[in-house]
C-alpha cells in the first residue's frame, strides 16, 4: 500500500541483532525521526472511532518505547491482521473500507474488555494495566454505561508508570492542586465486568443476539415485526438481520467509520453511545424490560459503547456464500 516496510516501530543493535518492537499500534507509524533530546517522533496513523484515512498525528516515545505521548493534533484499540485483510478481498468478505468485515458503518478495530476499576469520588483512580497493549479508556456509570471515551489508545512498556491530570483542560495548562486520593493506596487490579469471568473480545453473536432470542422474538421477528424491528438472528450476506436492523434504523448511537476528516473535534460527554441509543431506552422500560438481568443489559450497552462491532475476529470467512465452510464466521479465540 505504502512505501514503508513495517507498520510498527522497532529497535535493534547496530549489528542487526536483538530486534524488538517498541510500538503496538494497529496501523502504520510513518517517518520516524530521532529528536535532539533522544525521543523518537513519528506520524501515527490511527482509526480509533474516528473514521478511516485522514487521522495522522505526531506522537513521540523514548528510545526504549516508554512514555508514548501525542505531540500535536490528537484531539481526544487489538492489531489488525493484514494477511487476513489481503485474503478477504477475493473472498468478498470486506465491507466498504474494511478488508475483513468487522462492523457495519462503524469501526474496523476489534475491541477487547480487559476489565474495570473503581474511581474515587474526587475523580482519581490508580490501577495496573497490561503492558504492550493498545489501551482504550472509558468512563462508565454504575450500570457500566459509557459517559465519555478517549478516542485514541495509549501503550505502556513492562514496568512503566504513567499518570495524567485528567481531560478537563489542555495539558499545557492543567495543574495538580493536590495529591490525588487514589495515590494514597495500592494500585487496583482490573476486575471483570458483572457477568464476565475475565478479559474477552466483544462479539455480537455472543453478547447481544442471545438476549434477543430469549426475550424479543415474540414481537420482533417474522413477516411483520412490531415497530418494524426485526431482531432475529437470521444471517445476511455479511451480518445478521437484527444487526442490520439496529444500524440501519439508527437504534444505536455509534461513530460512523467511513472516511473521516483529518481534524477530529473534541466531543462532550454523552455525545454518543449507550446513553444516546433508542434500543437501550426501550429495553430499560416495560414491557421490553421483561426479566432482563443486569448482566444481560451490561452486555448490550458494552457492545454499543465498543462502537457496535459485529465480529470479534478478523479470522475466517465472512460472506454468507461460505456458510458451509468450517472456518465460516468463527468465534473469537478468547471466547472458545
The residues, any chain, with a CB within 8 Å of residue 65's CB and separated by 6 or more, are 9, 11, 21, 22, 23, 155, 157
The answer to whether position 236 is within a domain reads yes
Closest CA to 257 of 49, 82, 57, 26: 49
- 235 vs 75, higher pLDDT: 235
The answer to whether position 44 is within a domain reads no
The answer to whether position 42 is within a domain reads no
Please give the tally of structural domains in the chain: 1
The answer to whether position 158 is within a domain reads yes
Q: Does 261 score more than 50 pLDDT?
A: yes
- 306 vs 180, higher pLDDT: 306
State residue 43's pLDDT score: 80
User: Would you give the distance in Å from CA 324 to the centre of its chain?
Assistant: 30
What is the rounded average pLDDT of the residues 266-292? Answer: 90
- Per mean pLDDT, which range of 74-88, 114-128, 317-331 is the poorest? 74-88
State residue 80's pLDDT score: 53
The answer to whether position 52 is within a domain reads no
What is the C-alpha to C-alpha distance for residues 109 and 182, in angstroms, rounded to an integer? 31
Question: How buried is residue 29: exposed, middle or buried, by Cβ count under 10 Å (0-12/13-18/19+)?
Answer: buried
What is the rounded average pLDDT of the residues 257-265? Answer: 65
Average pLDDT taken over every residue of the chain: 85
State residue 1's pLDDT score: 45
Q: Can you give the length of the chain in residues?
A: 336
* Cell numbers linked to 15: 549489528
- 250 vs 109, higher pLDDT: 250
The answer to whether position 27 is within a domain reads no
Q: Does 76 score more than 50 pLDDT?
A: no
Closest CA to 311 of 90, 106, 151, 83: 106
Q: Does 13 score more than 80 pLDDT?
A: yes
What is the C-alpha to C-alpha distance for residues 57 and 55, in angstroms, rounded to an integer? 6
State residue 163's pLDDT score: 82
Report CA-CA distances (Å) from 171 to 44, 75, 137. 20, 12, 17
- The helix (H) or strand (E) run that includes residue 61 is strand 56-61
Owning domain of residue 311: 93-336
Residue 193 · residue 116 · CB < 8 Å: yes
Residue 54 · residue 69 · CB < 8 Å: no
User: The dihedral of CA 11, 13, 14, 16: what is its sign?
Assistant: negative
Residue 258 · residue 52 · CB < 8 Å: yes
Residue 46 pLDDT grade (very low, low, confident, very high; cuts 50, 70, 90): confident
Residue 166 pLDDT grade (very low, low, confident, very high; cuts 50, 70, 90): low
Report CA-CA distances (Å) from 27 to 47, 126, 282. 8, 29, 37
* Cell numbers linked to 278: 433508542
State residue 86's pLDDT score: 61
Closest CA to 290 of 217, 207, 186, 201: 217
State residue 63's pLDDT score: 87
The answer to whether position 204 is within a domain reads yes
Q: Does 272 score more than 90 pLDDT?
A: yes
- Per mean pLDDT, which range of 5-19, 103-117, 284-298 is the poorest? 5-19
What is the rounded average pLDDT of the residues 230-235? Answer: 97
The answer to whether position 162 is within a domain reads yes
Question: 322 φ, ψ to 5°?
Answer: -100, 15
Closest CA to 310 of 98, 28, 91: 98
Amino acid at each position: 500500500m505504502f512505501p514503508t516496510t513495517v507498520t510498527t516501530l522497532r529497535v535493534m543493535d547496530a549489528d542487526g541483532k536483538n530486534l524488538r518492537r517498541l510500538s503496538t499500534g494497529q496501523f502504520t507509524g510513518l517517518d520516524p525521526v530521532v529528536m535532539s533530546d533522544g525521543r523518537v517522533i513519528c506520524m501515527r496513523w490511527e482509526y480509533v472511532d474516528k473514521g478511516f484515512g485522514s487521522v495522522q498525528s505526531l506522537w513521540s516515545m523514548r528510545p526504549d518505547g516508554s512514555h508514548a505521548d501525542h505531540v500535536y493534533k490528537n484531539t481526544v484499540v487489538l492489531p489488525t491482521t493484514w494477511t487476513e485483510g489481503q485474503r478477504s478481498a477475493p473472498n468478498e468478505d470486506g465491507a466498504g473500507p474494511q478488508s475483513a468485515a468487522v462492523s457495519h458503518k462503524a469501526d474496523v478495530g476489534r475491541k477487547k474488555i480487559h476489565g474495570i476499576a473503581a474511581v474515587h469520588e474526587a475523580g482519581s483512580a490508580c490501577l495496573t494495566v497490561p503492558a504492550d497493549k493498545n489501551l482504550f479508556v472509558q468512563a462508565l456509570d454504575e450500570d457500566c454505561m459509557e459517559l465519555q471515551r478517549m478516542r485514541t489508545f495509549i501503550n505502556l512498556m513492562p514496568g512503566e508508570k504513567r499518570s495524567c491530570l485528567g481531560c478537563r483542560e489542555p495539558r499545557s495548562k492543567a495543574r495538580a492542586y493536590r495529591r490525588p486520593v487514589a495515590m494514597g493506596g495500592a494500585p487496583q487490579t482490573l476486575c471483570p465486568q458483572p457477568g464476565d469471568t475475565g478479559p474477552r473480545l466483544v462479539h455480537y453473536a455472543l453478547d447481544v443476539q442471545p438476549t434477543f432470542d430469549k426475550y424479543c422474538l415474540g414481537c420482533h421477528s417474522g413477516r411483520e415485526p412490531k415497530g418494524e424491528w426485526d431482531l432475529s438472528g437470521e444471517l445476511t450476506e455479511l451480518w445478521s438481520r437484527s444487526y442490520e436492523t439496529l444500524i440501519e434504523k439508527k437504534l444505536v448511537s455509534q461513530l460512523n467509520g467511513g472516511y473521516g476528516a483529518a481534524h477530529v473535534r473534541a466531543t462532550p460527554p454523552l455525545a454518543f453511545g449507550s446513553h444516546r441509543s433508542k434500543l437501550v431506552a426501550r429495553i430499560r422500560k416495560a414491557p421490553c424490560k421483561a426479566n432482563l438481568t443486569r448482566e444481560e443489559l451490561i452486555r448490550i450497552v458494552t457492545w454499543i459503547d465498543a462502537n457496535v462491532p459485529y465480529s470479534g475476529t478478523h479470522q475466517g470467512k465472512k460472506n454468507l456464500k461460505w456458510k458451509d465452510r468450517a472456518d465460516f464466521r468463527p468465534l473469537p479465540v478468547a471466547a472458545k
